[in-house]
Homo-oligomer: A and B are copies of this chain.
Amino acid sequence: MTTTAPPLRIATDLEDACCPTGRADLLPADEAESLADVFKALADPTRVRLLRFLSESPSGIACACHLPEALGISQPTLSFHMHKLHEAGLVDREKRGRWVHWTVRPDALAAVQAYLQLPLRPGSADCC
């Protein structure tokens, strides 16, 4: 994810009449994939609520005691969602005795936050 491959440029042949100058670059495939993986982890309302809940808990730490009933899901389903969040690197898992404590990893969101700052180019040029 840290290695940034050289971006691809589209339609290198110059005899193409469409979009002669203002062609944009394409995000490298591996970079797009790792971004999509984080978005995939967030692409579920239950996980959206879970991550928010963790971040609002004191120091970002919380246990899962009452979450199933509050979210209206079963315990295995909650475990499944936490596994997804952990897999995406969005939360850390720490087992303390019988319970598991979850902590948010805000740094894991840095990449998607940077991506969402879409660099809108000013200008009036139409493409085709």
By a beta-carbon cutoff of 8 Å, the part of chain A in contact with chain B is: 8, 10-11, 16, 18-19, 22-27, 29, 32-33, 35-36, 39-40, 42-49, 51-63, 65-67, 69-71, 99, 101, 104, 106, 109, 112-113, 115-116, 118-128
Contact = CB atoms under 8 A, between A and B. Distances in A.
Judged by DSSP, the binding face of A is mixed
Q: What is the copy number of this chain in the assembly?
A: 2
Contacts of A49: 26-27, 29, 32
Nearest to A17: B65
Contacts of A65: 11, 18-19, 127-128
B26 A71 contact: yes
16 contacts: A11-B65, A16-B66, A19-B63, A19-B65, A24-B54, A27-B48, A32-B45, A32-B48, A33-B45, A35-B45, A36-B45, A39-B42, A42-B43, A52-B115, A58-B123, A59-B120
